[in-house]
Structure formats: C-alpha cells, structure tokens
Amino acid sequence: MSDTETKPSSNFIRHIIDEDIRNNKNNGQVVTRFPPEPNGYLHIGHAKSICLNFGLAKDYKGGCNLRFDDTNPEKEDMEYIDSILEDVSWLGFEWLDEPKYASNYFGQLYQYAIELIKQNKAYVCSLSPDEARAYRGSLTERGKDSPYREQSIEENLDLFERMKLGEFDEGAKVLRAKIDMASPNINMRDPILYRIRKVEHHQTGNEWCIYPMYDYTHCLSDAIEGITHSLCTLEFEDHRPLYDWVLDQLQTPSHPQQIEFARLNLNYTITSKRKLKQLVDEKHVHGWDDPRMPTISGLRRRGYTPASIRDFSDRIGVTKVDGIVDMSTLEFCIREDLEHSAPRAMCVLNPLKVTIESWSDDRVEDLSAPKHPKDESMGRRTLKMTQVIYIDRSDFEEVPPPKYKRLTIDQEVRLRNSYVIKCNEVIKNEQGEVIELRCSHDADTLGKKPEGRKVKGVIHWVSEQYSLPAEVRIYDRLFSEENPDGAAKKHEDADSHFLDFLNPDSLMVMNEARAEISLEETQPGDSFQFEREGYFTADPDSGADKLVFNRTVSLRDSWAKAGSK
C-alpha cells in the first residue's frame, strides 16, 4: 500500500457520523480522541484504534486529541509516555494541539465530584474492599446499600475534603456514586469515583493523594475537550450507562457519544498489556521492542512499515463482533508494501565455501545488478565476482532428491546475476561434513544461456573477499498455540498458563551470514529483500564490525501450508 489517497472503507461508525452530520449534530463537527493509559507500550490492537480515531478525524476534516489516561500513577511511567508519542507519530498521524493528560483536569474533576456530593448523588464510603465486594452482589444477586450511603451531604463534603488532605490511609475510604445497588448492570451499583493513592504522579507530583477512576475521568475529559464521538472497544459497552449518567448529572460543556467496536485479537500472540509486561519483566523476550512482540515498537524494529499497519487496519475493518484475525493478513500487508519499496540484495545465511578453479585467484570482476527488477529508478548495484565465493548450504546436495534444481555433483546452476558454474569435487572434514566445493565456470554465460544445454536452477551467492559479516535473526510466531489464553483454559492441567505455550523456536540466530558488499552503508531501519530468503531490516544492534538483520517476513506464506510447528 502506498501513501496515496484511497477511498475509506465504510463501517457502522461512519454511518453514525454521516447521520449526525445530516442532522447537524455537533454543528457537523467530528472530534475524536485516542486515550492510552501510559502503563505499557502500545500494541497492534492500539494501532487499529489509532488508525480509526485519527483516520475518521482526517476524513471528516475534524481533529483527534491524544490524551493520556494517567489516573493510576502506580503503574505509569514517562518511558511509556515517550514510546506512545513516538508510535502515534511514526504511524503518520498528528494530534490536535499539544498532547493532553487526564491529570490536566484533576482540579475540574474534583469540583465536579463536589457538585455530585452536593446533589446527594455521591457519598464517601468506609467499607473495606472485601466488604464492598460482598455488598456489591453478583450477576444473579442484587447488591446491598452501603451503611454509609445515607450520610448527610455536609458529612460527605467534610470526609471528601479530608481524603484530599491525606488524613486517611489507602483503602480506608472511597467516593462512590449514588445510583442503584439493585441495577442488573453491576457497573451502575454505586461505582467508585475516587480512591486514595499516596504515590507521586509523573505529571502532578505530590499535589494529589486521591485519584479519579477511569469511568468517571474518561467521560468528563471527553466532555471538557469537546469530543463528539468517543470510540472504545466492546468491553466498555456495559460501562456506557455510567458514562452517560455522570454527564447527565453535571453541567458539562458537551455530551459526547460513546460508540463501541470490536477489539483486535491476533492469533499466535496476545494483546494484553499486563501479559506483555509479564513477558518483558520475566525476560521471556528481550524487551518491549523485541521483534516477536505485537507492540508497535516491536513491529517497527522487525521492519513493518507505517503504511503496512495502516493497510492492515483498513483491511480487517470495524465491526461490532469480536473475532480473531489471522497473522497472515498482517504479513500479507507488509509483503505488499516491501515488494514495491524494498531494494534487492543477496545474503548467504548459512555459508558454504566454493572455489572456482577456472577463475584466477587475483581476478575481480564487477557485475551490475538492478536494485529492484521492476523499478529502474532505484538504480543499480555492483557485485564483486572472485575466485572464492559463498553459497548457502541448502543449495547443495551430494545426493539430491528427485527434481532437485540446485547445485550437485556434475550438475550446473546459475549464480544470480553472474555465470553458470558446475561442481566438480566435494571437500569434507574428518567428520564427513562438506566444507568446500571445487567448481568451474562457463565464461560464455554472463547474461546469456549456455549453448546446447539447459540450466534449471539459479542460486544466490556472495564473494568471500568482498562480503560483509552479518548476524541474521529469523523470527517465528511467539506462541505455538493459535489462542494461548484459550489453550491454557482448555488444558487438562488446572495450573496451565499462557506462558506454557511459548514457541521455543520463535527466534533462530544465524551468526555466520555474509551479505553482499553493496550493503556496507546500511543504516538501522533500512529494509531489503534478500533474494530467495525473504524481507529483512537492519537492526539497531548493527555495528561497524557486523551488520544485524531481522527477518520481517518470508517471501511467501509458508505457515498456512505447514500449520502449527
């Protein structure tokens, strides 16, 4: 997919917005927001939400706010804020004005809470957490009123002020909305609006020791910012009555509309920030940006492009039904992008030495090859042909299987963009392993077919003298089960855990690879198609002594045919 304009895909949210515009609701304006909690790195599910919120705002000539939901400072960190800013910008989107924080509104939220108390619609509850859970009831049993529910307005105002001043311990008191303990929707059974947390906040320092809950903060932040369409995933559908209740009780600048859509679930991975953090903390992966992780930073390091992720988000669409998207859809999108944008190069992952005895040992011939076979504007690259070269071990068989089309004894192959060679002798070590091939070349086959015979195979190669040492990292699915969480729940072992299904072969490191000399100026983030091997991206670990490449994706989808490994 290119960055050129395409017609947006229709979906039920667009239908709602179109109807609102026809009715001149919100004066025909569309203002959305992306509200991440800075307690981890963003993942591919967040990328879908980013593309949806920012994309709708752009298509309807509106705006989208980036607002950090920073109401839980115990789990939040500036590292996460910085990573989120980078991810959203990298995906190609711009937010309105400066990034916003829910903490910007703490003063206003506190005053709104005072107003609810004065309306006798909120009260300070002193039940312990265990008692509160017991009073809450269940899906089949109605809740019971808190014994503190009928405290006077004056007493609630005094207690709430003392909560703010830090006079009570954490967990001793909370501010609750007074709604309906018999409601069939548990979210409406006097939900908590504020709790005590005596912890320093990354934006407000020690100014506050009470922090508002998400459901209370989110709707009011939307209203303060003039959001017209508040898009969230389906798990918040049962929270919408509370969203509307809070706004209905207060004189807010606006009353946004909450709309829910299905979240993105991708097979062979997980998209729970809590579980992703566990993978990082327990060192099952090498950080949040490990290329096996479904985080945006991990996908970026692996070589995925912003265009491919935007294309993926558009292809999977927006629905009201949860489902699991196949990883191959994401891989298809990056193949589509890199097929057109990635220059070609040769890299031998598992080198086997080849000596061309018909080639003089001091002869070096420059060969010209296109950087892209279908895009002449990319230019050409120079390959160095010498007596000693490397081919991949997989391209030679001493005893070939039927219909074998690569190098073997007395069988010819063409070296990519070079000559036809023939294997005459195999050199082995004491263990019987092939360590070198002695070959000859046909000097009359550069750029043309040999006379009187047909060469069936073409293999890639690099010069021994004019090649670069490289480390190549081959990535596979992070989990061996399509649905790691589901597999854990279905497993006969009651203690089964999603970590039990980590794929032990998710990373294979090839330390002895050799890359063609044209890659010597490669910078981290540069992507290439290594001919016959796949698409690869230079990793930040690359240094002057060795290039490091991550395989972004194979040339074709072999997983679908092979099945689970």
Active site residues: 37, 263, 273
For 316, residues 6+ apart whose C-beta sits below 8 A from its C-beta are 48, 264, 325, 329
DSSP single-letter state for residue 396:
B
Residue 535, helix vs strand vs coil? strand
Give the pair of three-digit tokens for residue 14: 């667009």
Torsion of CA 423, 427, 428, 430, to 10 degrees: 170
Could you tell me how far CA 299 lies from the centroid of its own chain? 5
User: To which H or E segment does residue 405 belong?
Assistant: none
To which residue do tokens 């293999």 refer? 459
* Backbone dihedral angles phi then psi of residue 103, each to the nearest 5 degrees: -65, -20
Burial of 263 (0-12, 13-18, 19+ CB in 10 A): middle
User: To which H or E segment does residue 347 belong?
Assistant: strand 347-348
Residue 408, helix vs strand vs coil? strand
CA angle 544, 550, 553 (to 5 degrees): 150
Beta bridge partners of 469: 514
Strands 122-125 and 100-101: unpaired
Residue 128, helix vs strand vs coil? coil
DSSP single-letter state for residue 377:
G
Beta bridge partners of 122: 177
Amino acid letter, 561:
K
Q: What residue spans of 491-527 are helical by DSSP H?
A: none
DSSP single-letter state for residue 450:
P
Integer Cα distance of 540 and 524 in angstroms = 5
First to last CA, the chain: 30
